[in-house]
């Protein structure tokens, strides 16, 4: 998933002394110096935790003076001296914030987490000092009120509209009493989201399944056992250790014959944040839901979902719920049959008890192998990480002429990270690209794209972005390189699509650059890339056996494609259940529930395909919506699937490597960022608004 970190901030007077007393430190602070690195990339090797707070304070003071200068300008407000100047303010703070919060996600420690807790509420307050500044808003409003006479370009019009709406949506029209309460709410929310993420990471890192009896490893592939032995060795333990990190957890749930241990691991994973300890997230969730609703109502909206969706393609909770309901109605019977099929198969394999959640992946994998003569272990040797990376690089070369060059001179924040220079078809520099592939205790789970610097144009110079892809793929062992599952290959393509959205941006204003688009549009570039993993022409280019050099056989590719819709009904309903849960929390219009678990179960009740497991919870570790910016937006993944299936149909028609189609997608989607309404961009590429039919056909959800 993409992250955007922008803080437009003012410094409260009480912190000026602290900042001024740190002048000597600031002179030596690498965050406050010119970056003497290739492409002015972040000097990670020189940055220490103690540099961050002084840098934040200095940057906020600078941002404050920049805002004060706009307000003090005696000239009539114009697009240039108000809107563009505001857009260009706070650059130093943005640079420092992007480095700090990205490190907090990908390579954190106790010092970084402590700084995050300390600085986040202040940053929220400083941002409020801008959005709630009456004099500044009056200048913005004067320009906005005269917009029809300004002869602006479409991109300038979008910047002006976005700027005005941002002020209104963040409290500029509130009275003084309500502004005070708005400040309190946003400050508290900033603390709660940081705490939520820290709790999930700690709960994930703290658990270990320690196995000393080799018989308990039955069913596990050798590479999984080897990785578990390496983890045990690294922690000075005998035997094997399994963690809640995705590669370890998912492999154990899929292959381990020991049902009792699968149950134990499942319950550990699914109870994160719901253990009634110091890291319990239930009260955090209730506070966030209460404050989000109060904030929305303060601003004149019925619910947080109404507030969020005003700035989305879907536009309203009603439209989102109708969309989710329609997909649910078309997929639930397929999902139910998928589970029944696995349950029936499990009985033939000796399972005498009802199929449980910790059984599904295990028997599903065996059923898939039985039906298609296919499993992950058959394909992993063909998906060696370096080869897959080159294959994705080559795919973008075929489509857009992009080339990549590893540059070891670019500083990185961890020894596993590689930095690349990315060049366009004419040899012009496009972007820096960081690739960070494997799990660490210092890294959050999942996979995401982010940026350390976004693209913008200043004084006629195109300032190119610094993009990062952060994943948690299967790590190499002492005897094998990193061999990816097919799912990890599609995840890599997905995140690379986000990366392309950032790298190929060609706009003027940073706030409209790259992935700064509606949340239910941002997944189109990522999800369309996944389609190439279903195409034989690409698979046979990228999939080469890591030991023999053999190209993946036609027969195996045919099996991968044939199995593409295996249990698609189940996985569709599972994702819809997350969307229903998200909308339930954020479509509240009055009282907030007191029982997180009861509320969640009611929200997801109609999607349930297994018996309830006491002690487990989705919400208490649902970082997407309580720590990741997807509140009232998780539906966007399925929404964008409609877009990507419809869009890829054009590639299928014209050829999956067709340069004309690819250039149109780049010109009308990837390069445009948020400079136009997403539906307008989509129609320019596709020629019509999206249809749900291609998605239903691709997913096999048509009887």
Backbone φ and ψ of 48, nearest 5°: -120, 155
Q: Is the pLDDT of residue 240 over 70?
A: yes
Q: Which residues pair with 458 in a beta bridge?
A: 461
C-beta atoms surrounding 146 within 10 Å: 13
Euclidean distance between CA atoms 170 and 130, whole angstroms: 10
Mean pLDDT value across residues 231-249:
97
* 95-126 confidence digits (pLDDT tens): 999 999 999 999 999 999 999 999 998 899 99
State the Cα–Cα distance between residues 412 and 416, nearest whole angstrom: 9
Residues 6+ apart with CB under 8 A from 585: 285, 289, 599, 603, 619, 625, 631
Domain ranges of the chain: 13-131+133-169, 207-270, 381-568+637-699
The pLDDT assigned to 10 comes to 26
Buried/exposed code over 618-649 (b: 16+ C-beta within 10 A; e: otherwise)? bbbbbbbbbbbbbbbbbbbbbbbbbbbbbbbb
CATH of 13-131+133-169, one of 1.10.1370.40, 3.40.50.2300, 1.10.8.10, 3.20.20.70: 1.10.1370.40
pLDDT band (50, 70, 90) for residue 702: confident
- Whether 206 has a pLDDT exceeding 50, the answer reads yes
Question: Given a cut of 90, is residue 345 above it in pLDDT?
Answer: yes
Confidence category of residue 703, pLDDT binned at 50, 70, 90: low
In the prediction, which pLDDT does 516 show? Answer: 97
Helix count (H) and strand count (E) of the chain?
A: 29, 9
In this prediction, residue 134 carries a pLDDT of 97
3-state secondary structure of 674: coil
DSSP 128-196: HHHHT-HHHHHHHHHHHHTGGGS---HHHHHHHHHHHHHHHHTTTTS-HHHHHHHHHHHHHHHHHHHHH
Q: Which of the pair, 390 or 26, is modelled with greater confidence?
A: 390
Contact 506, 498 (CB under 8 A): no
- Report, as an integer, the average pLDDT of 623-644: 95
Euclidean distance between CA atoms 56 and 66, whole angstroms? 15
- The CA-atom distances, in angstroms, between 180 and each of 12, 61, 174 are 15, 22, 9
Q: Is the pLDDT of residue 597 over 70?
A: yes
CB 465 within 8 A of CB 457: no
Q: What angle, rounded to 10 degrees, do the helices at 636-654 and 317-348 form?
A: 80
pLDDT recorded at residue 27: 59
Q: Coil, strand, or helix at residue 667? A: helix
For domain 381-568+637-699, give the CATH number: 1.10.1370.40
pLDDT the model gives residue 121: 84
Length of the chain: 703
Strand-pair partners of 436? 470
Mean pLDDT throughout 215-240? 97
The answer, yes or no, to whether residue 659 has pLDDT greater than 90, is: yes
Which helix (H) or strand (E) covers residue 391, if one does?
helix 385-400
Q: Of all residues in the chain, what percent carry a pLDDT higher than 70?
A: 96
How far is Cα 172 from Cα 523, in angstroms, rounded to an integer? Answer: 31
Task: Give the SS3 label for residue 470.
Answer: strand
Known catalytic residue at 341 = no
Interval 17-32 mean pLDDT: 58
Q: In the 3-class helix/strand/coil scheme, how is 600-611 assigned residue by residue?
A: HHHHHHHHCCCC
**CA-based nearest residue to 621, from 245, 272, 247:** 272
Q: How confident is the model at residue 1 (pLDDT cuts 50, 70, 90)?
A: very low
- Burial (CB < 10 A; 0-12, 13-18, 19+), residue 352, is exposed
In order of 63, 68, 475, 576, 683, the CA distances from 393 in angstroms are: 39, 46, 21, 32, 28
Per-residue confidence band for 297, with pLDDT thresholds at 50, 70 and 90 = very high
Mean pLDDT of the chain: 94
CA–CA separation, 646 vs 669, rounded Å?
Answer: 14
The CA distance from 695 to 646, in Å, is 7
Mean of the pLDDT values across residues 387-405?
98
**pLDDT tops 70 at residue 142:** yes
Structural contact between residues 178 and 135, judged by C-beta atoms closer than 8 angstroms: no
Supply 551's token pair: 């190209």
Q: Is the pLDDT at 482 greater than 90, yes or no?
A: yes
Answer yes or no: are the C-beta atoms of 488 and 438 closer than 8 Å: no
pLDDT at 2: 37
CB neighbour class for 24 (10 Å; exposed up to 12, middle 13-18, buried from 19): exposed
Residue 18's pLDDT band (cuts 50, 70, 90): very low
pLDDT reported for residue 302? 98
Q: How far apart are CA 506 and CA 503, in angstroms?
A: 9
Examine domains 13-131+133-169 and 381-568+637-699 and report if their fold is the same: yes
Packing angle, helices 357-372 and 317-348, rounded to 10: 70
Which strands form 403-406's sheet, in the order they lie side by side? 403-406, 418-423, 429-436, 466-470, 448-453
Residue 630 pLDDT > 90, yes or no? yes
Of 495, 535, 641, 676, catalytic: 495
The confidence score (pLDDT) of residue 122 equals 85
CA distance 378 to 131: 56
pTM value is: 0.93
Whether residue 347 is predicted with pLDDT greater than 50 in this model: the reply is yes
């Amino acid at each position: 998933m993409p992250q955007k970190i922008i803080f437009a901030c003012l410094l409260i007077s009480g912190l000026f002394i602290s900042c001024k007393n740190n002048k000597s430190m600031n002179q030596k602070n690498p965050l406050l110096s010119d970056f003497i690195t290739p492409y002015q990339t972040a000097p990670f090797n020189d940055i220490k935790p103690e540099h961050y707070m002084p840098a934040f304070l200095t940057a906020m003071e600078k941002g404050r003076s920049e805002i004060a200068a706009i307000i003090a300008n005696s000239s009539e407000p114009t697009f240039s001296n108000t809107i563009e100047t505001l857009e260009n303010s706070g650059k130093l703070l943005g640079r420092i914030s992007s480095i700090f919060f990205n490190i907090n996600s990908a390579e954190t420690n106790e010092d970084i987490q402590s700084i995050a807790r300390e600085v986040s509420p202040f940053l929220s307050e400083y941002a409020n000092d801008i959005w709630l500044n009456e004099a500044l808003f009056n200048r913005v409003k004067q320009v906005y009120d005269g917009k029809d006479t300004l002869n602006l370009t479409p991109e300038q019009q979008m910047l002006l509209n976005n700027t005005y709406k941002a002020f209104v949506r963040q409290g500029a029209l509130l009275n003084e009493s309500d502004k005070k309460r708005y400040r309190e709410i946003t400050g508290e929310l900033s603390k709660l989201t940081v705490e939520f993420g820290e709790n999930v990471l700690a709960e994930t890192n703290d658990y270990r399944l320690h196995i000393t009896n080799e018989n308990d490893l039955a069913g596990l592939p050798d590479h999984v056992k080897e990785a578990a032995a390496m983890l045990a060795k690294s922690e000075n333990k005998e035997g094997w250790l399994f963690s809640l990190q995705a590669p370890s957890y998912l492999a154990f749930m899929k292959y381990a014959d020991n049902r009792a241990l699968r149950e134990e691991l499942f319950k550990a994973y699914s109870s994160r944040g719901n253990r009634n300890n110091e890291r319990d997230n239930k009260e955090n969730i209730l506070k966030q839901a209460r404050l989000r609703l109060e904030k929305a109502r303060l601003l004149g909206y019925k619910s947080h979902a109404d507030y969020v969706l005003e700035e989305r393609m879907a536009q309203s909770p009603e439209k989102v719920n109708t969309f989710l309901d329609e997909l649910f109605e078309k997929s639930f019977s397929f999902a139910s049959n998928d589970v029944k099929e696995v349950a029936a198969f499990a009985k033939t394999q000796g399972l005498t008890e009802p199929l449980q959640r910790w059984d599904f992946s295990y028997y599903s994998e065996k059923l898939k192998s039985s039906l298609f003569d296919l499993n992950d272990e058959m394909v992993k040797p063909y998906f060696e990480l370096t080869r897959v990376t080159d294959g994705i690089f080559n795919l973008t070369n075929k489509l857009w002429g992009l080339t990549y060059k590893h540059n070891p001179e670019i500083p990185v924040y961890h020894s596993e990270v590689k930095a690349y220079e990315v060049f366009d078809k004419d040899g012009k520099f496009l972007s820096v690209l960081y690739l960070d592939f494997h799990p660490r205790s210092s890294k959050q789970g999942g996979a995401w794209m982010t940026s350390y610097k976004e693209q913008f144009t200043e004084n006629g110079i195109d300032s190119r972005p610094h993009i990062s892809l952060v994943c948690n793929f299967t790590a190499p062992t002492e005897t094998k390189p990193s061999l990816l599952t097919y799912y990890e290959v599609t995840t890599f393509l997905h995140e690379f699509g986000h990366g392309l959205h950032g790298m190929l941006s060609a706009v003027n204003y940073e706030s409209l650059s790259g992935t700064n688009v509606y949340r239910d549009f941002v997944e189109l570039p990522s999800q369309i890339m996944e389609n190439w993993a279903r195409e034989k022409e690409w698979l046979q280019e990228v999939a080469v056996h890591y030991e023999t050099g053999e190209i993946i056989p036609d027969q195996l590719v045919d099996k991968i494609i044939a199995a593409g819709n295996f249990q698609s009904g189940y996985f569709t309903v599972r994702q819809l259940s997350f969307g229903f849960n998200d909308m339930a929390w954020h479509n509240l219009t009055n009282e907030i529930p007191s029982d997180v678990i009861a509320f969640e179960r009611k929200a997801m009740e109609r999607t349930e395909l297994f018996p309830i497991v006491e002690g487990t919870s989705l919400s208490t570790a649902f970082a997407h919506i309580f720590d990741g910016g997807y509140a009232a937006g998780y539906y966007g993944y399925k929404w964008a699937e409609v877009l990507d299936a419809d869009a890829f149909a054009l590639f299928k028609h014209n050829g999956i490597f067709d340069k004309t189609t690819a250039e149109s997608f780049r010109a009308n989607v990837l390069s445009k960022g948020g400079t136009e309404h997403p539906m307008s961009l989509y129609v320019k590429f596709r020629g019509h608004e999206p249809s749900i039919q291609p998605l239903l056909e691709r997913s096999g959800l048509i009887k």
